[in-house]
Amino acid sequence: MKAELIEKYRYNPSDYPCLEDDIINYYKLSEIYENNSTVENKWKLHTAWEMLYYSIKHCAVAGIINNTKRDELWRYFGKSGVTEDFYSG
**Nearest by Cα to 29 from 7, 3, 51:** 51
What pLDDT sits at residue 77?
A: 87
Residue 55 lies in a domain: yes
Residue 25 lies in a domain: no
What pLDDT sits at residue 89?
A: 45
- Identify the domain containing residue 53 by its residue range: 37-81
Residue 21 lies in a domain: no
Residue 23 lies in a domain: no
Q: How far does Cα 37 stand from its chain's mean position?
A: 17
Residue 9 lies in a domain: no
The contacts of residue 65 (CB under 8 Å, 6+ apart) are: 16, 18, 56, 59, 73
Mean pLDDT by 10 residues, the chain (89 residues): 64 92 93 92 93 96 96 85 51
Residue 67 lies in a domain: yes
Residue 19 lies in a domain: no
Domain count, the chain: 1
